[in-house]
């Protein structure tokens, strides 16, 4: 509720993209560590494809679940499919 994006108890649905991006970053860091890599590294969100927002806004106090799965990898780039509910 204290986020600058929240007004009248809701945030724009577009804000959930950040939740998906952060989840992908965590997944990537864990994957790299499990493979004996260097662990976390700086990353950038390069593109968004096939984004479907089913709401205009989301309640600020509702639980959010973000899940990602690896879709493609051509290092140093990785592509994920994400769903936020």
* pLDDT tens-place values along the chain, 85 residues long: 788 889 999 999 998 998 899 998 888 888 888 888 765 667 778 888 999 999 999 999 999 999 999 899 888 788 999 999 9
Distance CA 55, CA 36 (A): 40
- Cα distance between residue 35 and residue 27, in whole Å: 12
Query: Which pLDDT value is given to residue 56?
Result: 94
Q: Which residues contact 84 (CB under 8 A, 6 or more apart)?
A: 16, 17, 19, 20, 64, 65, 66, 67
11 forms beta bridges with 58
For residue 29, the model assigns a pLDDT of 83
């Amino acid at each position: 509720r204290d986020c600058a994006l929240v007004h009248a108890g809701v945030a724009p649905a577009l804000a959930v993209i950040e939740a998906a991006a952060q989840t992908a970053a965590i997944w990537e860091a864990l994957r790299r560590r499990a493979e004996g890599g260097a662990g976390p590294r700086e990353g950038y969100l390069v593109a968004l494809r096939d984004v479907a927002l089913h709401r205009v806004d989301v309640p600020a106090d509702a639980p959010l679940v973000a899940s990602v799965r690896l879709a493609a990898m051509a290092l140093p780039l990785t592509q994920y499919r994400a769903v936020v509910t």
